[in-house]
Amino acid sequence: MTKISDNVVNLGPHILFVCQPQTLTLMKAVKRTFRRMRHCSTVKEVISRLDEWKPAAIVSEIDLPDGKIWQIVNAVRSGRMCPSDTPVIGLTHGERCQALERMAEIRRVHLYHDPAMEDLADFISETLDRKPELHKILVIDDDRGVTSHVANVLAKSFSIEVANTGTKGLEVWMDHKHDLIILDLDLPDTHGVEVLKRIRSIDPDQPVLVLSGFLDKRNVAEISLHEATHCADKEIIGTPKILMRRCLEALEWRYLNTALDAERRRLEQARLIHAAQDWLSDGTLPSTFAAQSLLHRAVTLDAPDKTSPNDFDLE
C-alpha cells in the first residue's frame, strides 16, 4: 500500500511576488521553476500578512501603488514578522542610478535589472543559495545591561560586537571596520567624545550613533562639533522600532554622503576638464601649462587618502 507521503510533490520554496498583474505575465519561466508562488500588489497587504505567509524570498517592484519596496524591507529586517535575513529582490525594470544602488546596499536588497525577466528564475535561485551578509555594529558601552539589551534587539538584523572601554573599542573597530558604531559617552577609561574625535581623525565618514543617559547642552554641542552621525537618549533602547530606525538612518547617512561626495567630485572634474580644453584652444605654451595643471587637479580628485591612523592610547 502506497503511503500518502510518498505521493507528496516537492513544490520548492514559497516565493512572494509584489507587483502589478502585467508584470506577473512576464514570469512564465519563474512559474515553471517555482510552483509555490503567492502574488499581491500593495505594501499594505504584504505587511498585514507577512507573519502569516513567511515566504522564503520576496520579489517586489520598487514602486508600488501605495508605497515603495523599502517599507516592506523595513518590516522584514525588523525580524518581528518573518526571519530578518529573508532575501528581498527588487525589480527595477532596467532603471539604474547610484542612489537606488546605495539604498539597496544599505537594506540588503538584491536588484534585478532585466525588464524582460528572462533569467529571473535563475537569479532567485542564486539569491536563495547566497549566504546573507549582515551589517556589522560595534557597541562601545561598559553597562552590560545596555549592551545585552541592544544586542537582543539588533541581533536578528545585524552582526553585533561589544567593547566595554574606549581603548578596546578603537582596537576592535580598527580590526574589523564596523559599518556602525554605537557609542556611550560615560566610559570607564575616557569620555566618549575623545573616542569620537579619534574615530573622526582616522575615518571622517564612519557612522557613529551616540547613545547616552546624560545628554545636556554641552554634550550635544561637543558631539555635534565632532560630527556624530546621530545622538539620542538611551531611553530609545526600550523602543526597538526607534533604535532600529536610528541604526538604519546612520547607515544610510554614510552611503548617501559618499554618493554626494562622488557626485561633487565628478562635477568638479568636468569643470576642470572643460577649463583645460579652453586653455588648450589658445595654443600658447603658458596656456598649455595651465591646461596641464587643471588636468592634474582633475586626476588627483580621485587620489586615495594616505593619512595613517594615530595610536590608540587615550590616557
Q: Are residues 26 and 46 in the same domain?
A: yes
Domain assignment present for 285: yes
Give the bridge partners for 123, in sequence order. Answer: none
What's the domain count of the chain? 3
Q: Is 45 exposed, middle or buried (0-12, 13-18, 19+ CB in 10 A)?
A: middle
86 and 51 Cβ atoms separated by less than 8 Å: no
Instruction: Single out the residue of 67, 83, 66, 64 nearest to residue 75, CA to CA.
Output: 83
Domain assignment present for 306: no
Domain assignment present for 2: no
Domain assignment present for 154: yes
Cβ neighbours around 206 below 10 Å, total: 19
Domain assignment present for 139: yes
Domain assignment present for 5: no
Q: In the predicted model, is pLDDT for residue 138 greater than 90?
A: yes
State the Cα–Cα distance between residues 232 and 209, nearest whole angstrom. 8
Q: Are residues 175 and 263 in the same domain?
A: no
Chosen domain end from 109, 129, 149: 129
Confidence at residue 99, expressed as pLDDT on a 0 to 100 scale: 81
Chosen domain end from 112, 129, 146: 129
* pLDDT confidence band for 312 (50 / 70 / 90): very low
Long-range CB contact pairs, 116-123, < 8 A, 24+:
116/26, 117/26, 117/27, 117/29, 117/30, 117/91, 118/29, 120/27, 120/29, 120/30, 120/59, 121/29, 121/30, 121/32, 121/33, 121/34, 123/89
What is the average pLDDT score of the chain? 85
Confidence at residue 248, expressed as pLDDT on a 0 to 100 scale: 84
Domain assignment present for 111: yes
Confidence at residue 10, expressed as pLDDT on a 0 to 100 scale: 53
Tens of pLDDT, residues 107-136:
889 999 999 999 999 999 999 998 777 889
State the Cα–Cα distance between residues 65 and 53, nearest whole angstrom. 21
302 and 270 Cβ atoms separated by less than 8 Å: no
Domain that residue 286 falls in = 253-300
Cβ neighbours around 145 below 10 Å, total: 9
The DSSP code for 84 is T
Q: Are residues 16 and 125 in the same domain?
A: yes
Confidence at residue 279, expressed as pLDDT on a 0 to 100 scale: 87
- Across 204-208, 219-223, 247-251, least confident range: 219-223
Q: What is the pTM of this model?
A: 0.58
Give the contacts of 262 (CB within 8 A, at least 6 positions apart).
98
Domain assignment present for 238: yes
Tens of pLDDT, residues 273-298:
888 888 888 778 788 888 888 888 88
Confidence at residue 175, expressed as pLDDT on a 0 to 100 scale: 93
